[in-house]
């Protein structure tokens, strides 16, 4: 009897040890994948780690998904491949994936949206009914793809409504979660057709009021590299001196206010001022932040440009007339509490083709989902959660 | 006797290995990047009966399929922003999906509506596949789908992008994946180690939008293989192992159709077509055909005849010795893809999805058969093991003779 007990205790201890070692292996392998660096650094270790994880079976599924949070985009791709290897092996072995664990992970909004979406699509392949059960509650999810699905269902429902009175609240609800241009466009058209007011500028967080000065010289595209006074002021951490007078391309110039009423915040220099060929302009505005925060400045322009935030050059791009679109560029920036100064340099070249005449930009402040971050204490999210209509 | 047997075995295995390579279609425009499947015998009478199978794809793509052994590999992109990158492996015999892997783009994904993130065609060294995207993500998987390495060239070089999209397809020469990443804002070419994913070399390139793909001049005698990099400035030959520039052709070239090589002649879309021959450390000009200007499709050269497609879908044949045009044949529609040559026939797919089999003769081209696949086709086809492969945004098609 004593002997049996000893054997039993020993067996349990062995299982515990093996299990702990197994968990440690999984954890170590995930850390290796998380530490893969650009330039191909760490890839040999990464390959071994995937081999190790692929052999771990379902035990590795949840730790792998949790590993996405805080990992670099590069590391996320390594983790994703390891996850897919594990899932494929389990399916080939005829095993069912742990549905409850996956669903709990999907519903945990503190986890990585990319990992949650991967878990969702993996589980949906096994249990298609989860789509109808989970998606309707994901209208304000941190994951843009979840939001898109939830919005699409509401648009569809509104489209089938008996009349405008029934459709309008559904479209309003859909708008609250919509972060993609095509869906917002569709919703706004439907609401406006029903006599509703929709503030698309505010919905997306476009900056509509600017001070602008120019033209400065950009003949032969040389002005892109020239630091005219507005940007030297910015580089010194000073706000643009809007009372100053500068030597411009065509004489003395001063800052002037310029606003846009375009739904998508397009400031059209070519139409609102003039399409000075071989010129450049500076546009400046301020954005009041309630706190230290990381946001994205997303912009679209067919012209060459530079962007400063609080005197720091955050990105520059010398490309002319290769198309323009909303959210063409996404620039992560840090904002400080209080007033933040945004300075934008936009350059026009001397191309003569019809398709090379645009001189415009649109710029907005949003979070990583594409949801507007509004200046001051108000946020788009707060507005939506309090049910305030636009 | 044993020695003889051993020698025969070695010879047989070498022949088998060579045969395996010859039967593959490992990169954009084939193993030698010249659109020629010299030993293939493909169906010439295309009809519904020659559609061996159709396999659904999870996303869009202008990338063509590649074939390694008995598997077909193709890339695709999906999602609202085309930031989902797919690599799909399909069994060549059955059309069944063997595996699919997904990744998230780390670079810019914006393209012209006609293009998409999965525009460059994949490449392979026979043991691994290399998928490249407009976002400049370069992904290496083994043939079972396991990640070997991932280079986010879009995030490593965030200004090397084009708002209309990037389309240059990588090629493999020896143990190097040669990639061109060229735009108005930043431009470079690099050689990436096929095994480690590390950069062997990187050279600056002319800062200008460029949609052409690198090509190769195979090793001839004691002259090693060269990578050929085309741009608006011309054509640069580099050592694929070191990136060292060997020579420069500086008379300008197109930024859409790419250079091709036939029997040592390097045929460049430059001033119509210009042919040169490498002498090792320099080059000599062979001929020019100023009236033979390809539009989007790259030129194809068979023997002494060069074929180009213009934007109106007119196929022109020209004499490479004299540069003179021999004949023209109007095919219907617009063409984004490059035709391939196999068994003395040309196979061309227009954007509307119609396949044309053309028999080129000395004084005319004859349309032998047509097949409407009824889906948009923008990729260049592949040929391997007696079959033709082509993809639309939704479907991968295999066309083959009925068994």
Same-domain check for residues A210 and A104: no
* A387 conformational bin, left if phi > 0, alpha if psi -120 to 50, beta if neither: left
Chain A contact present for B191, CB below 8 A: no
Same-domain check for residues A193 and A257: no
pLDDT tens readout for residues A71-111: 999 999 999 999 999 999 999 999 999 999 999 999 999 99
Same-domain check for residues A187 and A320: no
The pTM of the full predicted model, rounded to 2 decimals, is 0.91
Chain A contact present for B58, CB below 8 A: no
pLDDT at A129 over 50: yes
Using an 8 Å Cβ cutoff, are A203 and A389 in contact?
Answer: no
Q: Give the residue-averaged pLDDT of A112-131.
A: 97
Record: contact A39-B163, CB cut-off 8 A: no
> Is residue A374 in a domain?
no
- A160 is in which domain, residue-wise? 144-198
* Spatial distance between the Cα atoms of B324 and B135, rounded to a whole number of angstroms: 41
pLDDT on residue A377: 54
Nearest to A317 among B99, B146, B185 (CB): B185
> Is residue A168 in a domain?
yes
Same-domain check for residues A178 and A120: no
Strand A360-366 vs strand B325-330: parallel, antiparallel, or unpaired? unpaired
Interacting residues of A223 by C-beta distance below 8 A, sequence separation 6+: A216, A217, A278, A279, A280, A347
**Which chain B residues have a beta carbon less than 8 Å from that of A315?**
158
- Return the percentage of chain A with pLDDT > 90, whole number: 83
Q: What is the ipTM of this complex?
A: 0.92
Identify from B96, B110, B144, B209 which residue to disrupt to test chain A contact, counting A C-beta atoms within 10 A and taking the largest count: B110
pLDDT on residue B2: 45
Same-domain check for residues A221 and A358: yes
Using an 8 Å Cβ cutoff, are A33 and A79 in contact?
Answer: yes
> Is residue A372 in a domain?
no
Same-domain check for residues A232 and A357: yes
Interacting residues of A158 by C-beta distance below 8 A, sequence separation 6+: A167, A168, A170, A171, A174, A190
Chain A contact present for B108, CB below 8 A: yes
**Which chain A residues have a beta carbon less than 8 Å from that of B197?**
40, 43
CATH code where residue A240 lies: 2.60.120.380
Q: Give the residue-averaged pLDDT of A99-125.
A: 97
pLDDT tens readout for residues B91-139: 999 999 999 999 999 999 999 999 999 999 999 999 999 999 999 999 9
pLDDT tens readout for residues B252-279: 999 999 999 999 999 999 999 999 999 9
Locate B170 and state its tokens: 């990588």
Record: contact B152-A74, CB cut-off 8 A: yes
Q: Which of A66, A69, A136, A142 is nearest to A104 (CA)?
A: A66
pLDDT on residue A64: 98
* Spatial distance between the Cα atoms of A310 and A195, rounded to a whole number of angstroms: 41
Record: contact B183-A319, CB cut-off 8 A: yes
Q: Which of A288, A283, A255, A253 is nearest to A361 (CA)?
A: A283
pLDDT on residue A24: 61
pLDDT at A238 over 90: no
Same-domain check for residues A157 and A183: yes
pLDDT at B205 over 90: yes
* Spatial distance between the Cα atoms of A23 and A43, rounded to a whole number of angstroms: 22
Confidence bin at A9 (pLDDT 50/70/90): low
> Is residue A381 in a domain?
no
User: Reduced to 3 states, what is the DSSP secondary structure of residue A143?
Assistant: coil
Contacts by residues A315-318 (CB-CB < 8 Å, ≥ 24 positions apart): A315/B158, A317/B159, A317/B185, A318/A221, A318/A224, A318/A347, A318/B184, A318/B185
- Alpha helices by DSSP H, listed for chain A, are 2-34, 43-54, 61-67, 73-92, 99-107, 113-126, 130-134, 144-159, 164-177, 181-193, 200-204, 229-235, 269, 380-385
Same-domain check for residues A88 and A151: no
> Is residue A268 in a domain?
yes
* Spatial distance between the Cα atoms of A357 and B74, rounded to a whole number of angstroms: 38
Question: Per-domain residue ranges for chain B?
Answer: 25-400
pLDDT tens readout for residues B134-168: 999 999 999 999 999 999 999 999 999 999 999 99
Same-domain check for residues A320 and A208: yes
> Is residue A116 in a domain?
yes
Nearest to A78 among B102, B150, B209 (CB): B150
Locate B142 and state its tokens: 């083994």
Same-domain check for residues A98 and A150: no
Check residue B20 and report its DSSP letter: H
pLDDT tens readout for residues B306-365: 999 998 899 999 998 888 899 999 999 999 999 999 999 999 999 999 999 999 999 999
Q: Which of A246, A259, A337, A351 is nearest to A303 (CA)?
A: A351
Q: How many domains does chain A have?
A: 3
Locate B370 and state its tokens: 């047509």
pLDDT tens readout for residues B367-389: 999 999 999 999 999 999 999 99
Same-domain check for residues A213 and A304: yes
State which of A153, A177, A198 marks the end of a domain: A198
pLDDT at A21 over 90: no
pLDDT at A34 over 90: yes
Record: contact B209-A44, CB cut-off 8 A: no
Record: contact B146-A81, CB cut-off 8 A: yes
Strand B36-37 vs strand A245-248: parallel, antiparallel, or unpaired? unpaired
pLDDT on residue A243: 87
Chain A contact present for B297, CB below 8 A: no
Same-domain check for residues A168 and A287: no
> Is residue A93 in a domain?
yes
Give the closest-approach CA distance of B160 to chain A in angstroms.
10
Confidence bin at A390 (pLDDT 50/70/90): very low
B4: enclosing H helix or E strand: helix B2-23
**Which chain B residues have a beta carbon less than 8 Å from that of A328?**
110, 163
Going by CATH, does the domain composed of B25-400 fall within 3.40.50.620? Answer: no
> Is residue A59 in a domain?
yes
């Amino acid at each position: 009897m004593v002997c049996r007990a000893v054997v039993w205790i020993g067996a349990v201890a062995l299982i515990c040890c093996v299990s702990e070692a197994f968990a440690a292996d999984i954890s170590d392998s995930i850390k290796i994948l998380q530490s893969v660096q650009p330039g191909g650094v760490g890839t040999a270790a990464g390959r071994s780690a995937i081999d190790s994880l692929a052999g771990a079976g379902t035990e590795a599924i949840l730790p792998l998904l949790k590993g996405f949070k805080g990992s670099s985009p590069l590391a996320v791709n390594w983790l994703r491949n390891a996850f897919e290897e594990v899932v494929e092996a389990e399916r080939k072995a005829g095993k069912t994936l742990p549905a409850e664990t996956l669903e709990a992970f999907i519903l945990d909004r503190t986890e990585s949206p990319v990992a949650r979406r991967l878990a969702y699509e993996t589980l949906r392949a096994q249990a298609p009914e989860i789509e109808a059960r989970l998606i309707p509650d994901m209208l304000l999810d941190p994951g843009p793809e979840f939001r898109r699905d939830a919005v699409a269902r509401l648009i569809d429902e509104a489209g089938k409504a008996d009349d405008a009175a029934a459709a309008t609240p559904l479209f309003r609800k859909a708008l609250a979660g919509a972060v993609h241009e095509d869906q917002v466009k569709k919703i706004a058209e439907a609401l406006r057709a029903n006599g509703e007011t929709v503030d698309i500028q505010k919905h997306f967080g476009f900056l509509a009021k600017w001070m602008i000065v120019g033209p400065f010289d950009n003949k032969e595209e040389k002005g892109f590299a020239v630091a005219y006074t507005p940007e030297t002021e910015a580089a010194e951490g000073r706000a643009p001196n809007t009372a100053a007078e500068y030597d411009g391309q065509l004489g003395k110039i001063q800052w002037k206010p310029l606003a846009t009423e375009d739904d998508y915040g397009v400031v059209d220099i070519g139409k609102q001022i003039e399409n000075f060929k071989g010129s450049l302009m500076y546009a400046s505005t301020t954005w009041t932040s309630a706190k230290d925060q990381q946001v994205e400045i997303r912009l679209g322009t067919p012209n060459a440009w530079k962007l400063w935030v609080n005197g720091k050059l955050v990105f520059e791009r010398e490309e002319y007339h290769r198309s323009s679109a909303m959210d063409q560029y996404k620039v992560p920036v840090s904002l400080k509490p209080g007033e933040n100064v945004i300075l934008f340099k936009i350059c026009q070249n001397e191309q003569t083709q019809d398709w090379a005449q645009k001189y415009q930009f649109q710029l907005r402040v949003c979070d990583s989902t594409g949801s507007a971050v509004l200046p001051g204490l108000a946020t788009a999210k707060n507005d939506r959660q309090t049910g305030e209509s636009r | 006797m044993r020695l003889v047997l051993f020698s025969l075995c070695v010879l047989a295995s070498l022949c088998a290995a060579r045969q395996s390579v010859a039967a593959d279609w490992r990169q954009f425009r084939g193993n030698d990047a010249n659109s020629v499947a010299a030993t293939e015998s493909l169906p010439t009478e295309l009809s519904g009966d020659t559609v061996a199978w159709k396999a659904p794809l999870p996303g869009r793509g202008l990338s063509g399929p590649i074939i390694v052994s008995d598997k077909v590999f193709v890339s695709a992109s999906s999602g609202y922003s085309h930031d989902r990158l797919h690599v799909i492996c399909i069994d060549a015999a059955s059309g069944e999906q063997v595996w699919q892997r997904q990744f998230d783009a780390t670079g810019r994904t914006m393209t012209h509506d006609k293009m998409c993130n999965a525009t460059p065609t994949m490449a392979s060294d026979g043991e691994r596949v290399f998928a490249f995207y407009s976002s400049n993500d370069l992904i290496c998987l083994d043939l079972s789908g396991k990640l070997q390495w991932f280079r986010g060239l879009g995030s490593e070089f965030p200004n090397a992008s084009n708002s209309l999209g990037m389309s240059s397809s990588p090629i493999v020469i020896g143990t190097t994946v040669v990639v061109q990443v060229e735009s108005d804002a930043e431009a470079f070419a690099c050689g990436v180690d096929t095994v480690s994913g590390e950069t062997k070399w990187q050279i600056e390139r002319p800062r200008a939008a460029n949609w052409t793909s690198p090509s190769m001049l195979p090793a001839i005698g004691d002259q090693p293989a060269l990578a050929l990099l085309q741009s608006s400035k011309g054509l640069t030959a580099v050592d694929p192992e070191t990136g060292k520039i060997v020579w420069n052709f500086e008379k300008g070239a197109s930024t859409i159709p790419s250079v091709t090589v036939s029997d040592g002649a390097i045929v460049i879309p430059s001033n119509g077509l210009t042919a040169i021959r490498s002498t090792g450390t320099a080059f000599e000009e062979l001929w020019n055909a100023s009236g033979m200007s390809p539009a989007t499709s790259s030129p194809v050269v068979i023997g002494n005849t060069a074929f180009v497609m213009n934007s109106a879908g007119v196929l022109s044949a020209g004499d490479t010795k004299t540069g003179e045009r021999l004949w023209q044949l109007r095919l219907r529609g617009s063409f984004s893809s490059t035709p391939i040559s196999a068994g003395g026939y040309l196979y061309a797919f227009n954007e509307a999805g119609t396949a044309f089999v053309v028999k080129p003769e000395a004084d005319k081209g004859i349309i032998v058969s047509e097949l409407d696949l009824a889906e948009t086709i923008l990729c260049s086809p592949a040929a391997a093991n007696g079959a033709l492969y082509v993809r639309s945004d939704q479907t991968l098609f295999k066309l083959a003779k009925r068994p």
